[in-house]
Amino acid sequence: MSEPLSPVPRPEGEEDELLRIWATPKGWRLPTAVNNTVIGLLYLGAAFVFFVAAGILALIMRTQLALPEQELVSQDLYNQMFTVHGTTMMFLFAVPAMEALGVLLLPQMLAARDLPFPRLSAFAVWAYVVGGTVFFLTIFIDLAPAGGWFMYPPLTLMEYQPGDNADFWLLGIGFIEISAIAGAIEIIVGVLRTRPPGMSLDKLPIFGWAMLIFAGMIMVAFPAVILATMLLEIERAFGWPFFTAELGGDPLLWQHLFWFFGHPEVYIIFLPAAGLVSMIVPTAARKPLVGFNLIVVALIATGFFSFGLWVHHMFTTGIPGLSLAFFSAASMAVAIPSGIQFFSWIATFAASERKIEFNTPTLFVLGMLFIFLIGGLTGVMVAMVPFNWQAHDTYFIVAHMHYVMIGGMVFPLFATFYYWVPIVGKRRLSERLGRWSFWLIFIGFNVAFFPMHISGLMGMPRRVWTYPAELGVGPFNLVSTIGAYMIAAGVLVFIIDLVRNFRVGEGGQDNPFGAGTLEFLPQDVYSTRSIPHVSSRYPLWDDPDLPRSVAAGEQYLPDAPTGGRETIVTSAIHAKPQYIVQMPGPGWTHVIAAVFTAACFLLLTVKIVVPAMLCALVAVGAVLTWVWSIDKGPDAGPVSIGGGITLPVYVTGPISHGWWAMMVLWVVAGSLFIAFVFSYLYLWTVSPEVWLAGREFLPQLGWPLGAGVLMLGAAAVMRLSRRALPSPGERNLLAPLAVLAAASLAGAGITAEIYGHWTSGLRPTASSYGAMVYLGAILTAQLVLAIAIMSGFCAARVLAGKLDRVRWASLENTSLLLYYTTAQFLIALILIHGFPHVMGGAP
């Protein structure tokens, strides 16, 4: 029996007030919605549409390959198809689908009213929908890239791939990755700070852990490929020779950066799916997950080890054998945590004291165990260098990666659809259709992909448009094509099930599978009626009265004390209540910002620069309008949340969720910078003679010293500007002037750095050394530009009476970004101006 934390009965009209505040906009205003259930469904729906679209491309390709020497599609179109298929599946389906599930399910699992930055999620989703749609449509107008989903240079350099096709990949995917990072910031802060009181880290549901690791991996992995796409796009557009060997570049730099992202990407996709499985299995077995601590360790270890595998994809590039062995060892090490998860799931099933019900979610989970196991075992095979040399770039690899991806992600996703639909839908999906769908997909998958192991070992290379009959792989290809159509039939059955049975809304059974976690509490648009105090990992099993108590408003925050959208922020480790975060409601600004940001990138892709800049201005204006109303100040608090706890509604400093988001942003920016430092040093090892020749272009010491002093001055003035802030209710001129002065000093610092190199005669197009030097400055300059915009925003808020000594979150965030930028700039100065002096050798 749950102890009431809030007095009952609750006042008349309290729930109506919650329903009014959290109501989803209807009709043409639906795009303004920011509720996690609406945004999550839109995100997931869009990802599924991309899955189907990329699947149709796969069917066309399989039809082309069904028989030898066919000409159903042209060779060039086929190249575009496999590029768009792979790119869409990886960037537009797999990662977004997992982020979508995070947005959709995490607030429910944490009994939070929403994640802490709902408009950021909504912005990320709309940017992804618009950008992804345009990218996919390029296949219909002969503008799709044709360099494979990993876009290796030199094949993708301008001289080998003229036109805009490759640029659509580079700018489109770079942009979508930024959207993914925005989602990841939301997930990290959400998991760490919006858990219900009492849900300390040891009680966090495994899916929460998986999403935390997933988002952390995105923070570190995605900046590497963002840098890679920057380098390649800059080389294509402006001729800076990062990848051109005769000017000191190296195509292998792309492979290092791409696979530093690309291999963890597999686990970025797999870990959340594994988290989903770890939620479904205990429900199926009616037993707590066996080895909870081990699973957490496995998720963390997999996340880290996966960054030690990137050369696993480069075994045939001539790298020394010992290097290959390091990565081969890491490839084996990562198999251990994956194995831990497998044994835990099997042990949980085995521990069940009742007959396991083989319903649709359980079937898909079991299918995942079978298929991912085979993919994992062939993964260990290709981690062995001698075997890898034989199988590289053959259909064996195609089979392996599909066993990993579809087994590790698609099967758990379908299990998820059937398992979690009741929390957003009015009724369950059909068991009968679900079983049909499972068996068609499961059998079809194995019919399609198992023969590819054999055709690959017989010598069939990847990415071929057709093949000669004499190769002897025709029968295997025909079987694979039949299997592909069986998969399509299974997906079609699922779509029919969706159309017939999926209706968004309340009214269904709250907990049809008898799960033990919070997402199966009674829900409405405001999430749960009250936020429970959690004292175990499976609160619904350990306290069967909890759903009634939560629905009766007996737990925390049964009302809306600030009169708006809000949720409880708790401490990161122990989940102690800390404050109430006031969150924004529906609005158009994030939609406008997303659409115009996407338009800016797409116009840049086709070199329409002035309209692109105008779109950028509109997007920035929309973002500034959006954030103008977010900082609501402390006036509505403090408020009582029940249980004798009274909380503030406004905080700043290390306790605030905004500060945490800035720390996450530091990690993202730091990862981008580390990728740059790696690239700089890597190209030095490849072409030391270019670096030696570059020494004579180093500016006089006064330039870097002056630039460093200016940037330090900027940080100091920004720090002092807080002291100049007026008291609440007052305005002054000194604070805005100080903030703008700080931004100006930062601008002067980066200008001095660039101008110093320019006057010394260094040109970015002359060698990879020059290109790297200027790139270092660009990475800081883009941060300084952001600081300039944020400083102008802060100055305007002081003048408007919305920024003062108490309500100063905007200035805090601007200061934090400037402090990071200063540190990065100083390290870059030491690297750029110091390293050439200590690297040895004579010019």
Partner 1 sequence: MSEPARDTRFLRRTLTSLSGILIWAAHFGLVYGVQHVACREGAGWTGFVKPVIYLATVLAAALMGLVAAKARSWLAPDDPGAPDVSIFLRAVTHILLVLSLFGVLATTASAVLLPTCGALR
The smaller minimum CB distance to partner 1, of residues 293 and 499, is found at 293
Helices (H) and strands (E) in the chain, counts: 28, 4
The smaller minimum CB distance to partner 1, of residues 432 and 574, is found at 574
Q: What is the DSSP code (8-state) at residue 394?
A: B
The smaller minimum CB distance to partner 1, of residues 201 and 620, is found at 201
Q: How far is the CB of 674 from partner 1 (least distance, A)?
A: 10
Residues in contact with partner 1 by CB under 8 A are 200-203, 293-294, 296-297, 300-301, 304-305, 307-308, 318-326, 328-330, 332-333, 336-337, 385-386, 571-574, 576-579, 638, 646-648, 651, 655, 685-686, 688
The smaller minimum CB distance to partner 1, of residues 24 and 640, is found at 640
Q: How far is the CB of 295 from partner 1 (least distance, A)?
A: 11
The smaller minimum CB distance to partner 1, of residues 273 and 301, is found at 301
- Distant-in-sequence, close-in-space partners of 107: CB < 8 Å, separation ≥ 6: 36, 113, 114, 115, 190, 194, 527
Q: Which residues face 640 on adjacent strands?
A: 646
Q: How far is the CB of 103 from partner 1 (least distance, A)?
A: 24
Query: Amino acid identity of 90?
Result: M
SS3 253: helix
The smaller minimum CB distance to partner 1, of residues 198 and 747, is found at 198
| Residue 573 burial by Cβ neighbours in a 10 Å radius (0-12, 13-18, 19+) | exposed
The token pair at 41 is 């469904």
Integer angstrom CA distances of residue 357 from 181, 360, 433, 497: 39, 9, 17, 21
Q: How far is the CB of 202 from partner 1 (least distance, A)?
A: 3
The smaller minimum CB distance to partner 1, of residues 508 and 688, is found at 688
Q: How far is the CB of 638 from partner 1 (least distance, A)?
A: 4
The smaller minimum CB distance to partner 1, of residues 129 and 324, is found at 324
Q: How far is the CB of 326 from partner 1 (least distance, A)?
A: 5
Integer angstrom CA distances of residue 271 from 98, 191, 412, 473: 9, 15, 11, 35
- Residue whose structure tokens are 């690791």: 213
Q: How far is the CB of 682 from partner 1 (least distance, A)?
A: 8
Q: Which residue, 550, 735, 602, 581, is CA-closest to 176?
A: 602
Peptide bond into 648 cis (omega under 30): no
Q: How far is the CB of 264 from partner 1 (least distance, A)?
A: 12
SS3 577: strand
Q: Which helix (H) or strand (E) holds 569?
A: strand 565-570
Query: Amino acid identity of 633?
Result: G
Contacts by residues 682-686 (CB-CB < 8 Å, ≥ 24 positions apart) = 682/250, 682/253, 682/256, 683/242, 683/248, 683/249, 683/250, 683/253, 683/768, 683/769, 683/772, 684/835, 684/839, 686/248, 686/250, 686/252, 686/253
The smaller minimum CB distance to partner 1, of residues 648 and 726, is found at 648
The smaller minimum CB distance to partner 1, of residues 131 and 539, is found at 539
Q: How far is the CB of 573 from partner 1 (least distance, A)?
A: 5
How far apart CA 74 and CA 161 sit, in angstroms, is 17
The smaller minimum CB distance to partner 1, of residues 200 and 751, is found at 200
Q: How far is the CB of 330 from partner 1 (least distance, A)?
A: 7
Q: What is the DSSP code (8-state) at residue 641?
A: E
How far does Cα 697 stand from its chain's mean position? Answer: 40
The smaller minimum CB distance to partner 1, of residues 646 and 700, is found at 646
Q: How far is the CB of 293 from partner 1 (least distance, A)?
A: 5
Integer angstrom CA distances of residue 700 from 129, 307, 697, 756, 787: 49, 39, 9, 8, 28
How far does Cα 786 stand from its chain's mean position? Answer: 21
- Distant-in-sequence, close-in-space partners of 738: CB < 8 Å, separation ≥ 6: 717, 718, 720, 721, 724
Q: Which residues face 531 on adjacent strands?
A: 556
The smaller minimum CB distance to partner 1, of residues 113 and 203, is found at 203
Q: How far is the CB of 289 from partner 1 (least distance, A)?
A: 14
How far apart CA 433 and CA 431 sit, in angstroms, is 6
The smaller minimum CB distance to partner 1, of residues 294 and 496, is found at 294
Q: How far is the CB of 637 from partner 1 (least distance, A)?
A: 8
The smaller minimum CB distance to partner 1, of residues 200 and 782, is found at 200
DSSP string, 472-531: S-HHHHHHHHHHHHHHHHHHHHHHHHHHHH--BSS-S-S-TT---SGGGS--BTTBSSSB
SS3 189: helix
Q: How far is the CB of 191 from partner 1 (least distance, A)?
A: 14
Q: How far is the CB of 656 from partner 1 (least distance, A)?
A: 10
First and final C-alpha spacing in the chain: 80
Q: Is residue 231 within 8 Å of residue 242, measured between CB atoms?
A: yes
The smaller minimum CB distance to partner 1, of residues 611 and 834, is found at 834
Q: How far is the CB of 468 from partner 1 (least distance, A)?
A: 31
| Residue 87 burial by Cβ neighbours in a 10 Å radius (0-12, 13-18, 19+) | buried
The token pair at 535 is 């004292």
How far apart CA 427 and CA 505 sit, in angstroms, is 9
Integer angstrom CA distances of residue 680 from 177, 203, 231, 677: 23, 43, 12, 5
The smaller minimum CB distance to partner 1, of residues 294 and 737, is found at 294
- Please name the residue ranges forming H helices in 687-767: 688-694, 702-723, 734-759
The smaller minimum CB distance to partner 1, of residues 47 and 672, is found at 672
Q: How far is the CB of 689 from partner 1 (least distance, A)?
A: 12
Centre a 10 Å sphere on the Cβ of residue 595 and count the other Cβ atoms it contains.
Answer: 20
Q: How far is the CB of 253 from partner 1 (least distance, A)?
A: 13
Centre a 10 Å sphere on the Cβ of residue 475 and count the other Cβ atoms it contains.
Answer: 12
